[in-house]
Amino acid sequence: MAGLQDIRRRIRSVKNTQQVTKAMKMISAVKLRKSQERLVALRPYAGKMMEVVQRVVGRIKGDSEIQPGPTAQAFLNPREEKRIRVVLVASDKGLCGGFNANVLKAANAFVSECAAEIVHLDVVGKRAVEWARKRKMTAAGEYLNIPLTGFQHVVTEIAAGAAAQYQAGEIDALYVIYNYFNSPVAQTPTVFRVFPMALDRREDSREVPEVSHLLEPDPNSVLETLLPRFVETELLRNLLESSASEHGARMAAMDKASNNAGEMIAKLTLTMNKIRQASITNQIIEIVSGANA
């Protein structure tokens, strides 16, 4: 059995670890609030943009005199997926529970089941870079330690490059693999196809009501302007979903670690008190035995 000094040393060590986990939990809570605020503000905007795009597309398809422009034809007309571009979003740091393990597991499943060739891979986060190297895949774009304010630059760069590749016939689809944010303690690994667009892709089953809008200068020009912005919005939403999921997962993991540390401290303290009590009892017995002798 360990002595009192060893137990005291272990208690001090666990208390120090508990202080670190509590601090990391507080930091993650602050970062989670910032990411969640941006995500909650963006989700309705992304949903409304999808609705507007659907209405404009319906207007164009309903009028035989309107011919979709090159951008609209490229984004809306799916073709056989032989070459694809994939964006994998993970974290730069660990200590966030199953956040990275789950999304990398989804990435492994997607790569194994996908019949198309991945001709361009973008990785966001150090863990995604390590995954690509382990699978001996070359990452054309690596984005590490991206702050919350730098997401827009990453999104613009990826969206512009992917759109140019698609129109040139170099890729047939753009996919994003990330963690969807349900709550601070629940995230869902998701494989999302950004384009070609699925016009019936909505979070609910309600149909878009038929509304007659005046589109200036013309429906085709409006759609040509909306589609690139739609792609950027969806990519930004994916990054924010992953950011909120990461901080939520880390906050939950650090909270559990702090609670476990508290339980360990209580058990070690109880053991220490039992050893002290036994030592004092033995000393009293020795004193009484000596007096009787």
Question: 275: part of which helix (H) or strand (E)?
Answer: helix 219-292
What average pLDDT does this structure show over 226-240?
A: 90
Q: Is 185 helix (H, G, I), strand (E, B) or coil?
A: coil
User: Is 18 a residue whose pLDDT tops 90?
Assistant: yes
Helix, strand, or coil here: 121? strand
Retrieve residue 193's tokens.
Answer: 């196809």
Note the pLDDT of residue 71. Answer: 66
pLDDT tens for residues 182-232?
Answer: 998 899 999 999 887 765 554 444 454 555 667 777 777 788 788 888 889
> Per residue in 149-175, pLDDT tens?
899 999 999 998 988 888 888 888 999
Phi, psi of 132 (to 5 degrees): -65, -40
DSSP 150: G
Please give the single-letter amino acid code of residue 122. Answer: D
pLDDT tens-digit readout, 97-111: 889 999 999 999 999
Average pLDDT, the chain: 85
What superfamily in CATH does domain 26-253 come from? ATP synthase, F1 complex, gamma subunit (3.40.1380.10)
For residue 125, is pLDDT > 60?
A: yes
* Structural contact between residues 188 and 179, judged by C-beta atoms closer than 8 angstroms: yes
Whether the predicted pLDDT of 114 surpasses 60: yes
Q: Determine the pLDDT at residue 285.
A: 79
Higher pLDDT, 209 or 121: 121
CATH number at 4-21+254-292: 1.10.287.80
Q: Is 125 left (phi over 0), alpha (psi -120 to 50) or beta?
A: left
Domain boundaries, the chain: 4-21+254-292, 26-253
Report the pLDDT value the prediction gives residue 293, as an integer from 0 to 100: 62
Q: Please give the helix or strand (H or E) that residue 56 lies within, else none.
A: helix 4-62
What distance in Å separates the CA atoms of residue 106 and residue 100, rounded to the nearest whole number?
A: 10
Partnered with residue 89 across adjacent β-strands are 124
pLDDT over 70 for what percent of the chain? 87
Give me the pLDDT at residue 54, please: 77
Q: Is the pLDDT of residue 32 over 60?
A: yes
Torsion of CA 100, 103, 107, 110, to 10 degrees: 160
